[in-house]
Amino acid sequence: GRSPVLDQIVVANMVLVDEVSATDGLVKQRQDALMARLRAEPGVKTVTFSSALPGLGPDRRIEFEPSAPVRDAGSLDVATFRIDVGLLRAYDARLLAGRGFEARDVANGRVAIVNRTFAETLLASQSPGEGGPLGTRFRYAAAGGGTPSDWYDILGIVDAFPPLPPSPESPTESTAYHPMPSGAAGASGRRRGC
């Protein structure tokens, strides 16, 4: 018989590290092959990938467009992740407003899904469940004398995930998610701005 532990594994999330500087296409080819092998394994229900483990993303300072109803302009650091379009579904993350990522969003690239904390603490508008922050635009501030990123449109708001209970000292962090194609985590993926 099968181990009952294997039946509990729902998601195998691949974290893609920027350590490969191979030619474009080679990383994608290897990643797609690995994902196909993982999907073929008995008991594996979902395979997905991201630029960092959910809940452990790097922080970046953002700026909202001038017309945005900003609640607190003093704390605009958010955790950022580039994710597979299916990652939120894989984690059963509850969508509160708007929509999840679709394949067309990878080509567009200038969209974001934010978490409830982002919507409630940074934006002074309607509640996330009413879709208030949808369509709000933000960008990443210039770092080290560079230029700011392009603008991102908020197309969805998701509840906090993974469901890790936050401690009183560390509440859920404001987080922005961006769609990422397979193979984009190498050096070429870093140039995209998020």
Q: For residues 28 and 51, give the distance between their C-alpha atoms in angstroms, rounded to a whole number.
A: 14
Q: Would you state the torsion angle of the CA atoms of residues 129, 78, 112, 51, taken in this order, to the nearest 10 degrees? A: -130
Q: What is the mean pLDDT of residues 86-90?
A: 87
Q: Which whole number is the average pLDDT over 157-173?
A: 67
Q: Which residue matches tokens 């960008």?
A: 139
pLDDT digits 0-9 by tens, 28-47:
777 778 778 877 888 877 77
Nearest to 80 by CA among 152, 19, 170: 152
pLDDT for res 162: 64
